[in-house]
A and B are shown apart, each in its own frame.
Chain A
Amino acid sequence: MSDQTLFPCGQISRRHIFKQSIGALLGGAVGALWAEDGKLDARLPGDKKADAVIFLFMCGGVSHIDTFDPKGNKYAGKLIDAIGFGDNVAEMKRPVIPCLRTFKNYGQSGIPVSDWFPNVGGVIDDIAVVRSMWCQEGNHFPAVIETQTGHRGRAFDNPSFGGWVSYALGSGNKNLPTYVNVGRASSPVQLTGGYLGASYSATPFQAGPVPIPNLKPPASSNAAERDRQMESLTRLNREFRERHELNTDIAARIESYELAGRMQLSAPGIVDLSKEPQHVLDLYGIGEKPTDDFGRQLLMARRLVENGVRFVQICHAGGGNGSWDAHGDMKTHEPLCRAVDKPIAGLIQDLKQRSMLQRTLVVFTSEFGRSPWSQNTTGRDHNPKGYSSWFAGGGIKGGTVHGATDDYGYKAVESPHYYSDLHATILKQLGLDHKKMQHRVFGRNFRLVEEGHGPIEQIIA
């Protein structure tokens, strides 16, 4: 077998990666931004439009009908022919429930946004809304898997989208992980590096005081002492390392301790928001109760992107089915919208004022949308057949609406886009060819994008 030993538990040996990087690491200066190329040649000709992605994933399914895809109430109370998705998949008549939101046309583009997203409405001219997304799976975990990995089911250990991106793009800063997840995900699949190896899985950051497990030395230790300790450690390791100098594992271990040390140095500063000026904190709603949590996460995302992280995934209201799963009552969307609306608008404004928006792609999506009907409640069921996702920055044509659902908001009928098109669009802006996002493992080629129409050209500037 080749050096890239195929391990029976499905994990690819990561050792060869370390072997390659040792030389590069010794040549660089600790603390500086230094990049490493990706492992996949999937470059598109020409310049890329974006360097990084902030991927906002609303766990549980945002109701497009109540946010970015107004349908009026012409059919409210009427029964329509439909197939359910969540608890009850039978074909039957379903009662359309009224939409209680009011919509307003925002900005130059006059795109309607509901009263749940007034702040996002304020930056709508930077946003392209795609109202015709669809996927196949109708329940949360399968749909999360499908939208994250581009494949249904876990028959193969497909990596998450962020893993693919960091695999193809490489690191923008070796002091930090390439792919970071913030917030609680619906499923560990959202963080997996799959068959690309654990090096390409998301490093989970929490918004609280401990962003990375064990990143900070315990309170009892002090920095100067720790420095001395590290020097002693090198001396005490000397005999052993000389004895085993021909062993590549020991070389990799030295390197891994160095990276751990660098992360300890660089990561805490980046996740420390206390030095941010008040007007920036205000922009994200930090300090106001409803928006404080999410605002901190988004501000941290900006700081990570600023420091070379390629893919920041923010999972909102994850765990279990996700809190956006409003079967019971649409009113449960209200506090969630309040929690994310201002921070998201703040992020876009902040990126813009730093001239980062043109190089940073912000994406807002869920695993699926919500149905026009209810299940005998004032809430809405799952709806993978038609829903909205939106994009901002990174070479996206702002103030655009593309695609449409039918009169009820049930099916994507005009320019329908399978979820893989969302992946392809992001990849294109990152200068990557979605057709080349493939990895040969286990004797065959695995692709991220298997279906769909490719990048959504209509929303690209």
Chain B
Amino acid sequence: MRSKFLTLAMAVAVGSFAVYAADELGKPALAPATKVFTPKKTAQSAKKPAIKGVADARAKTPTPPGTAARPRLWSLQPVVRPDVPAQPTGSTNPIDAFVAAMQTANKVEPVGLADERTLLRRVYMDLIGIPPTVAEQDAYLNDKSPDAYEKLVDKLLASEQYGVRYGRHWLDVLKYADSEERMYAAPGIHYWRDWVVNSLNSDLPYDQFVRAQLTGYRTTERTTMANVGRRSPLERRPDDLFALGFLARGAVNRDGKDVGELQISAVETVSTAFMGMTVGCAKCHDHMFDPIKQKDFYAMKALFDPLVIKKQLLATPAELVAYGKQFEESEKLRLAAQKPLDALAEPYRAKLYADRVAMLPADVQTIINKPAKLRNVAEQKIADDYFPVLRIDSDKIEEVMTDADKRTYRELRGKLTQAGGGRGARTLPAFWTVEVDHALEREPTYVLTSGDPERPEKNKPVEPGWPFYEGEKDFREGRVEAFSDWLTDKENPLFARVAVNRLWQWHFGEGIHKTPSDYGVMGGRPASQPLLDWLASEFIAKGYSQKALHRLMMTSNAYRRASSGDKELMKKNLSVDPGNRYLWSFRLQRLEAEPIWDSILSAADNLDTSLGGPSFDITPASTAPGGGGRGRGGAAAAKLNRRGAYMVRGFSTSREVVPNFLQAFDVDDGRTPCPVRTQTVTAPQGLFMMNSPEIETASTMFADRLQKESQGDLRKAVDLAYRVTLSRPPSPAEKDEALTIVGTDPARLKNLAWLIFNLDEYIYLQ
């Protein structure tokens, strides 16, 4: 949740609080905003008149008074491509040279490389989140060509299942949720998720990926010059409409009030996800540690202030026409029932109303009896306040009716219900997007006390802007547009650093920089800044291709290391580096909820790998605390065997939205950007794997499959069981144990299936 995020930002601060405590009393502890860079003129801006002051702003490096002695934040320094260390590594991948240098400096020694099968499973689970089939295993192991491994990585990067797996990683960071209290964009929000998945599959360059979600345009070309000399907006690529779900998703009403959540959410998500900075922390006060002022938060919020949420129908023309016809029909039916109903009830209603009014104080009566048009503002307020008192509900009318009238009344109401009560026409498919309201662009913006829109601090006006930049801003194409040009500029030191570190984290289990959304003072330093910077510059050089980076990382020896090795060596390494920051072995990782789900279903040969569409909910309505469950809200899809990435998540104050299974395995509810999932080890996880109906069904299906595919040969079945799930044949000892379990009874294959699902190795990736 957002609040969690806020607290986190402060959380990261705990460590060296004392160091700055003295400063906190008086002046700001740290260097206030240091300007980082100004975007270079892009091809397009070159066409435009020069922006005055930009060059000057670039030239000067302001050093705020009293801060000269303090070191500037490392992450705000430009990315300078480091030389690859001349370290003999036996690998041609530059990553390994950087890693070796880091290991030498920190006195750790790496274990050996993982064996082929372990690596095969690792690559599949990492890149697509589904274990390799037996045929895929054979194909890889039989490929003796020197680049077999590279081909494997490329093959999986080309699979559309890659987008589902890595899309889900990004959606954690970008705060995807299917619902959250009154979230306007809830209907159709999955189109945004599907856009993210498709973008990754088509390897949309990262800068375009970000720009599209901020502005709806992939590139900085947003306008075109017409022959008549007028600049007009370029038409957007139609499907990029769905990218804006990113901003629309933030619009949430709390307790029935619009508290500007769209804007607040935008600042918090954009600054953590793409800048690695906790600007959200400055909502209520100046950032305690980072060079971010409270004004910076509101300046950044002002970027998004003109945005309003807008419903976009997704119906075809034929559907719209059909809708109109259907609506007319249902209106006819409704009116036929409504008119006699009103006629019957009206005298009663009038009488009850008059009685009610008579009970009111005389001055109020005078106001109520005035026609609405003649009331002044204060009077109208009073009349509105008394609305609930004067509202006459149908049950009150029934209470005073004669028996005969009551019967007729009920009959007529029944007819009205049958006629659909005016809601006969079904809802059309829609998507919620954002657009700029130009009237809002003219309104001044203030710092808000505690972020409350009803408490503006009129003595603290703010101009739209963003931290780490003090140059002039060109808002002619829009505020967010100007910001996104700065954000995605090659010279922005945060943009590429933050992105490559996320990719690294998703491959290795922990980022080179351990706190992927905090590059501030309290985020600490990366394990190897040269490695991070080299990757960042390589990312830019490769045109922000995420797939190129995956390939680069996965073909390093660092990625191919075993997860364990010689015990003495491991103990020695652990004594100097207990957290394995220096990558002396591959981190043993508990699989996330989604790949666990996908693995179980794929063992049962029951995984639907189709892409896109609404989320599905596995919670049966009868057991969901707070109600709900399967099919609730109409958006939930009927199929329950889809990939875990499509399982519903969200938040409601009145019911649990996130299914028990996801919660047990540490999936967040999507209320806050989640850059690192907690990895817990709890009893309910064990109970799910041991006893859940999902495991029971999957065990049966898996056993059936084993029997069928082994044609009754139980030795073969045991072999297959291990290969399907763990991507390796059983060891002789395991085979003996498994055969003891199965005996001669094929029905006992189910016991074996259950056992394998409960193995440590099943949910821990080596």
| B741 shortest CB reach to chain A, Å | 6
CA distance A2 to B571 in the complex (A): 21
Interface string of B670-692 (1 = CB under 8 A from A): 00111111111111111110111
Q: A10-B672, A229-B754, A253-B760 are in contact. Are A318 and B8 (CB under 8 A)?
A: no
Residues of B627-665 whose CB lies within 8 A of A:
627, 652-656, 660
Which residues does chain A contribute within 8 Å of B653, judged by CB atoms?
A: 141, 186-189
CA distance A142 to B388 in the complex (A): 22
Whether A252 is near chain B, meaning CB under 8 Å from some CB there, is: yes
Q: A8-B676, A319-B626 are in contact. Are A93 and B361 (CB under 8 A)?
A: yes
| A376 shortest CB reach to chain B, Å | 5
Instruction: Choose, from B99-107, B414-422, B479-487, B562-570, the stretch at the interface.
Output: B562-570
Whether B156 is near chain A, meaning CB under 8 Å from some CB there, is: no
Which residues does chain A contribute within 8 Å of B690, judged by CB atoms?
A: 214, 217, 260, 264
Q: A236-B734, A236-B755 are in contact. Are A7 and B683 (CB under 8 A)?
A: no
Closest residue to A154 on the B side, CB-wise? B3
CA distance A441 to B685 in the complex (A): 26
Whether A101 is near chain B, meaning CB under 8 Å from some CB there, is: no
Cβ–Cβ contact A6 & B12, under 8 A: yes
Residues of A5-28 whose CB lies within 8 A of B:
6-11, 13-15, 18
Q: Chain B: how many interface residues by the 8 Å CB criterion?
A: 94
Whether B5 is near chain A, meaning CB under 8 Å from some CB there, is: yes
Instruction: Choose, from B13-21, B144-152, B240-248, the stretch at the interface.
Output: B13-21
Cβ contact of B681, chosen from A185, A239, A252, A318, cutoff 8 A: A252
CA distance A235 to B738 in the complex (A): 10
Which residue of A8, A189, A235 has the most chain B CB atoms within 10 A of its CB atom? A8
Instruction: Choose, from A109-117, A241-249, A304-312, A340-348, the stretch at the interface.
Output: A241-249
Cβ contact of B625, chosen from A7, A11, A184, A216, cutoff 8 A: A184
Cβ contact of B255, chosen from A93, A141, A241, A320, cutoff 8 A: A141
Which residues does chain B contribute within 8 Å of A247, judged by CB atoms?
A: 588
| A22 shortest CB reach to chain B, Å | 11
Cβ–Cβ contact B685 & A10, under 8 A: no
Which residues does chain B contribute within 8 Å of A443, judged by CB atoms?
A: 10-11, 13-14, 17, 288
Cβ–Cβ contact A442 & B14, under 8 A: yes
| A317 shortest CB reach to chain B, Å | 12
Which residue of B5, B675, B686 has the most chain A CB atoms within 10 A of its CB atom? B686
Whether A33 is near chain B, meaning CB under 8 Å from some CB there, is: no
Which residues does chain A contribute within 8 Å of B556, judged by CB atoms?
A: none
CA distance A88 to B359 in the complex (A): 19
Closest residue to B657 on the A side, CB-wise? A188
| A83 shortest CB reach to chain B, Å | 11
Cβ–Cβ contact A225 & B389, under 8 A: no
Q: A10-B5, A213-B660, A236-B734 are in contact. Are A246 and B570 (CB under 8 A)?
A: yes
Interface string of A180-206 (1 = CB under 8 A from B): 000011111100000100110000101
Which residues does chain B contribute within 8 Å of A253, judged by CB atoms?
A: 681, 760, 764
Which residues does chain B contribute within 8 Å of A188, judged by CB atoms?
A: 625-626, 652-653, 655-656
Q: A87-B388, A239-B733 are in contact. Are A263 and B678 (CB under 8 A)?
A: no
Which residue of A9, A210, A244, A250 has the most chain B CB atoms within 10 A of its CB atom? A9
Cβ–Cβ contact B3 & A156, under 8 A: yes
Interface string of A62-92 (1 = CB under 8 A from B): 0000000000000000010000000110101
Closest residue to A329 on the B side, CB-wise? B395
Which residues does chain A contribute within 8 Å of B17, judged by CB atoms?
A: 443
Which residues does chain A contribute within 8 Å of B738, judged by CB atoms?
A: 236
| B618 shortest CB reach to chain A, Å | 12
Whether B590 is near chain A, meaning CB under 8 Å from some CB there, is: yes
Cβ–Cβ contact B691 & A2, under 8 A: no
Cβ–Cβ contact A444 & B8, under 8 A: no
Whether B693 is near chain A, meaning CB under 8 Å from some CB there, is: yes
Cβ–Cβ contact A260 & B679, under 8 A: no
| B522 shortest CB reach to chain A, Å | 9
| B279 shortest CB reach to chain A, Å | 15
Whether B623 is near chain A, meaning CB under 8 Å from some CB there, is: yes
| A63 shortest CB reach to chain B, Å | 19
Cβ contact of B11, chosen from A155, A204, A243, A442, cutoff 8 A: A442
Cβ–Cβ contact B681 & A15, under 8 A: yes
Whether B621 is near chain A, meaning CB under 8 Å from some CB there, is: no
Which residues does chain A contribute within 8 Å of B3, judged by CB atoms?
A: 10, 154-157
Closest residue to A218 on the B side, CB-wise? B696
Residues of A218-249 whose CB lies within 8 A of B:
218, 220, 225, 229, 232-233, 235-237, 239-241, 243-244, 246-247, 249
Residues of A240-293 whose CB lies within 8 A of B:
240-241, 243-244, 246-247, 249-250, 252-253, 255-257, 259-261, 263-264
CA distance A198 to B517 in the complex (A): 23
Cβ–Cβ contact B668 & A250, under 8 A: no
| B389 shortest CB reach to chain A, Å | 5
Q: A14-B680, A319-B626, A443-B14 are in contact. Are A246 and B691 (CB under 8 A)?
A: no
Cβ contact of A206, chosen from B515, B524, B623, B754, cutoff 8 A: B623
Whether A139 is near chain B, meaning CB under 8 Å from some CB there, is: yes
Cβ–Cβ contact B678 & A139, under 8 A: no
Residues of B329-377 whose CB lies within 8 A of A:
356, 359-361, 364
Cβ–Cβ contact A260 & B686, under 8 A: yes
User: What 7 pairs across the A-B complex have the smallest Cβ distances?
Assistant: A10-B4, A260-B686, A90-B385, A442-B11, A6-B11, A252-B681, A214-B691
Other than the given A92-B385, A93-B361, A187-B654, 20 more pairs (CB < 8 A) read A1-B14, A1-B15, A6-B14, A8-B515, A9-B672, A10-B1, A141-B654, A155-B6, A156-B3, A186-B626, A213-B684, A229-B741, A244-B760, A250-B764, A255-B681, A256-B683, A264-B687, A320-B626, A376-B389, A376-B391
B residues neighboring A (CB under 8 Å): 1, 3-8, 10-15, 17, 255, 288, 356, 359-361, 364, 381-382, 385-391, 393, 514-518, 524, 563-564, 567, 570-571, 574, 588, 590, 623, 625-627, 652-656, 660, 666, 668, 672-688, 690-693, 696, 731, 733-734, 737-738, 740-741, 751, 754-755, 758-761, 764
A residues neighboring B (CB under 8 Å): 1-2, 6-11, 13-15, 18, 79, 87-88, 90, 92-93, 95, 139, 141-142, 154-157, 184-189, 195, 198-199, 204, 206, 210, 212-218, 220, 225, 229, 232-233, 235-237, 239-241, 243-244, 246-247, 249-250, 252-253, 255-257, 259-261, 263-264, 318-320, 375-377, 441-444
CB<8 Å pairs between A and B, sample of 16: A6-B12, A10-B4, A13-B678, A14-B682, A15-B680, A92-B385, A156-B6, A157-B7, A199-B682, A206-B623, A233-B755, A236-B738, A246-B571, A256-B686, A264-B690, A442-B10
